[in-house]
Every structure is written in structure tokens, then in C-alpha cells.
Structure 1
């Protein structure tokens, strides 16, 4: 069992897409409170800002100018779902920078695992477009940093958010050094992630029907995705940790609970232990019911460091 390193920053709470938006500041406040209350020993660190060079590994200069250099005096809409507020540029830099710092921490041996408690989320942002609440693709920035800084040849990104990480997939679809694995609700935003989308053999997508619960989710990972991940033998495991597959979430129709997120995390931890010296960096993605977000995030965080499942986890239906 190890101590959990957590990266976060107040700027990530200050980012405000506007009243009534699902991706609201209270999400991160709820996550931080759950970790403070439920984890015995968290190593809190301030998320640094990503440098432009780190962002340019995966994003266009045009996107950087839009997010970072626009004159923002009030809500600025990039698409129907994605908005900038005056605090958004720093939040986006800190969210992306958290993954870079976390990769450095685990690759140096400072800690084996780290969790980035940040927002805005990232996995929908493509190389040139902010979308789906996401400004920069935080997990992709971290993966590209791992490839370039440490010369890794096998980096895996596991995405269990209920929405497909179309941005992460698009960024790495032609990059055999990165394997991307995802379960997500079929026919849900953004409408990508079919089984036929294989990239250069490095993409593993399994869309599941609305209503999928614990049995279907666990069986899919156990029989389809985890063997693929194990065979890839990642030198570093990155996780897009979205908790909107929880049964309480208002934006999707999966039927998972905290115990399911904890189960998958323990399975991923075992694979990282076999191939990556235990190195895992997880970053927060979706989850829009605060109670569900707290339950899922805490189960995930406890499993990351080898703590046992809490009694009664997921038994509140």
C-alpha cells in the first residue's frame, strides 16, 4: 500500500461554464472533499501550468490561441456545450500540467501512482478542437510527455468514462506506441468508438448498450479489454477516470456503482504491477451527479493505492 499523490489547483474550481452547466465547479469541490474525508493519507500537490511546448505535442497552435489568448470578459462559447470564462485559460493549463507533473513523479520513482483532481476534463478535445466540455486533452498531453521525455515505447490509456474519448483516440490513432482502450455507452455523445475503429491495431473500443450494469461491464473488461492490455505490457498506464457510468448520473444510462470502479482499478493496478513497476497516472474526466462522483472517485482512489473496498460500497440503491 502506498500514499496517494494528488495534483489539483484552485484555478480548476474557478473555471465556470455558466449557471446550469453540468460540468460545474462543485464537481471538483466534491471530489476533493471525498478524498479528504475518505483517504487516510493524501499527498496533496499544486498542479503546475503546462508549457506551450508540452501542449503543442498534441494540439495545434490555433487551439492554443483560442483557449489561451482570447480576450474573455464573460462566457465565451466554443460550441454548444463548451464555454470559456475569464478563469478558464489558467484552469486548462493547470489541468494539462497536472498530468505532466504526475508522469514525472511516477517515472522518477518518487511515487508509484498519482491522481489528477482537475477540471475541465479532457478526453473529447482533439488536436485542433475544444469540445464536449473539454479544452485541452489532459491525458494525451501526459502520454505525449511520457513518450518524448522518457522514450517509452508502450503507453496505455484506459478510459472508463461513459462517453467515448474521441479526442484521445484521434490524437493517437496512428501512434503504435500508445494503446487506447475504452468501454462507453453505445450511440451516446460523441457517437464515435465503434468496434471497427482499430487505428493501427492500437485501439480497443467496446460500446455497450444503455442499461449495462455490473455484470456486463465486468465481463467485458475481463474477457475483452484486460487481456489486450496485459498483452500490450504497458510501461506506463494512464487512466481517463470518468464516473458518469454510475447509475445516478443524469447524462447517461449505465448502472454501475462505486464497487465497479474499484474492481476495475484493482485489475488495472495488477497489470501495472506486472509490466510498469506499478506506475499509474489517473486523471478526472466526467461524472455529473455529485454523490455518484464522490462514491466512484473514492473507490477508485482507494483501489489505486491498494486499500480494501469500503464496506457497503455501492449499496445505496
Structure 2
């Protein structure tokens, strides 16, 4: 498999303070492990590009970006909500994060790579159509998925999310778009407590109680995601790749490990080979223990590469 790895050093400029878990250290840890293991040499490496205003508008309200720009401080941090702060470089980093999803989508759909992984921050899956929240400003995966739907070869898209937190933003954006299937596993009850009980044929919510283990997670995916994906037959699959359901992550209480991320990646690749010509775009979401995050990303990427 040909895999493209997309990142940018400027994603580290977004800094919400030394105590904030969504830290620049996350990307540094990933890069260090990929370089130490040599896996980075088996991928095409590219720098992120900036998203355009029109591309943001594919998934967000017209005034969403302008409201964020008005809150951007010239120094220090400004809290958009109790969890989500902007520093002077935050929207610069957020633009690169969303732009990476566009770049990955375009390369995969053009046949220049089989799949792509975007190691970027800030994350995106909590950003709703008209609101930033949960460390997220622009919904990177949703912007990429909407870009894919602009392509003449794409009629149906799937977004799958194994982050420990529910992808409320992605659900908000696609809840009335039946051509987009959204499948999510998440700890429940837990943040953000939005859209967990929504009833839509294209929304497959799989709540997991605290302390759920690998067996529970894999059963939820096989019993719920897999038949929905087989029925939907997506032309491309997007992965909101959050690794904070790892048992060593401090943010939640689900007990997954690196082999679970390897397993779910392989399952999604099998689905993609059957229906999507192998086309996958994966974008980093959560993961707040840098060591666990880095080795979980390594397992995810080894599977995408076929290493």
C-alpha cells in the first residue's frame, strides 16, 4: 500500500498553556517514534497546506470563521469555552489541520496514494456546524468528507470515529446528509453529551460504559459498524483517529491497546478494499498520553502501510 503522511511543524504553535492536555508534545512524540522505528521512511511525507474560506464553508456556517477570528488574541490565550483556548497562532494551526484533510482527500481521490494519515492539531470532531468546542475549531474530517462529495466519482462517504469522546460535531454536520454514514464508538455517559441519542439511519452511535475492554469494543464494531458500512458501500472512508480510549490515557476510562487500533484499522481497510478501492483518509483526533498515543499511531500506520 502507498501511504501519505501529512503534518506541519506549525501545528505545534497552537498552545493553550503548559497544563493543557492538547499539547504540542503530542505531535513531537508521534514523529519521534516513527523516526526511531523507521516507519516514516515507508511513507510519502508531505507538509500540510492551508484550508480556504470556501472549503471551511463546506462544513461550517458562514460566520463561524469570522467569529473565531474576532476572538483571536494578540497575546496570551482567550477561552472560547471552558476547554478550548485560542492563542495568537491557533487559527494558523487550525487552518493547516483542516487543509491537511483537503490535501489528503485530493491525493487519495486522484489515485496518487492509496491512503493518507494527517498528524495534525488542533483536532476537529467536536466542532459543530456553528460552534467551536472540545479543543476543536474546524471539523477537519467533515471538511475533507465534504470535499470528497464534490468529486464526480464520490456519491457516498463514511466517517468512522473511535475516539473515546463522541463526535458530536461530525454528527451535527451530517445528521441530515444521508449520503454520509457516521459510525462512532465512545465512552458514555461522558463528554460532550450531545447527539448521543439521535435517531437517524445514517448515524450509528455505539456508546460504551466506562471500563469497557477490547472484547466489548470489537463486538460493537463488528455488530454495528460493519453491517452499516456494508449496506452503505462508501466510495471513500474517513477515519477520525482518536487514541484516547487507550488504557493508559488520562482523559477517560476505556481499556483499549495498540492491538485494538491495529485490528480496527485492518477491518476498515478490508471494507475499503471491497467498496472504496482502498481509499482511506485518516485524521488525528485525541490521545493525551504522548507515549501511548505515539505507539497507537504507529500501529495504525503500520497497518495502513502494510508494513
Measured against the shorter chain, the TM-score band is over 0.9
How far does residue 193 in structure 1 lie from its aligned partner after superposition?
Answer: 4.6
CA distance in 2, matches of 1:270, 1:92: 31
* Gap regions ≥5 residues in structure 2: none
**2:61 matched residue in structure 1:** 60
**2:262 matched residue in structure 1:** 262
User: Would you say the 8 A contact 2:79–2:85 is kept in 1?
Assistant: yes
User: Would you say the 8 A contact 1:193–1:206 is kept in 2?
Assistant: no
TM-score, normalization by structure 1: 0.93
How far does residue 42 in structure 1 lie from its aligned partner after superposition?
Answer: 2.1
CA distance in 2, matches of 1:18, 1:109: 40
CA distance in 2, matches of 1:267, 1:71: 41
CA distance in 2, matches of 1:78, 1:104: 31
**1:25 matched residue in structure 2:** 24
CA distance in 1, matches of 2:190, 2:58: 29
Q: Tell me, yes or no, if structure 1 residue 90 matches structure 2 residue 89.
A: no
TM-score, normalization by structure 2: 0.96
**2:42 matched residue in structure 1:** 41
Q: Tell me, yes or no, if structure 1 residue 205 matches structure 2 residue 199.
A: no
User: Would you say the 8 A contact 2:246–2:257 is kept in 1?
Assistant: yes
Q: Secondary structure at the match of 1:158?
A: strand
User: Would you say the 8 A contact 2:98–2:138 is kept in 1?
Assistant: yes
How far does residue 222 in structure 1 lie from its aligned partner after superposition?
Answer: 1.3
How far does residue 94 in structure 1 lie from its aligned partner after superposition?
Answer: 0.3
CA distance in 2, matches of 1:37, 1:94: 25
Q: Secondary structure at the match of 2:102?
A: helix
CA distance in 2, matches of 1:63, 1:286: 22
Query: C-alpha offsets along residues 250-286 of structure 1, whole Å, 9 cap, x if unaligned?
Result: 1100000000000000000000000100000000000
User: Would you say the 8 A contact 1:193–1:207 is kept in 2?
Assistant: no
From 104, 107, 111, the counterpart of 2:106:
104
CA distance in 2, matches of 1:216, 1:150: 38
User: Would you say the 8 A contact 2:5–2:46 is kept in 1?
Assistant: yes
Deviates more, 1:118-127 or 1:37-46: 37-46
Distance 1:204 1:42, change over 3 A: same
**1:280 matched residue in structure 2:** 280
Query: C-alpha offsets along residues 282-317 of structure 1, whole Å, 9 cap, x if unaligned?
Result: 00000000111011111111111223xxxxxxxxxx
Q: Secondary structure at the match of 2:4?
A: strand
Alignment map for 1:222-241 (pairs within 5 Å): 222-241=222-241
Alignment map for 1:122-137 (pairs within 5 Å): 122-137=124-139
How far does residue 10 in structure 1 lie from its aligned partner after superposition?
Answer: 1.3
Q: Tell me, yes or no, if structure 1 residue 72 matches structure 2 residue 112.
A: no
User: Would you say the 8 A contact 2:72–2:87 is kept in 1?
Assistant: no
**1:295 matched residue in structure 2:** 295
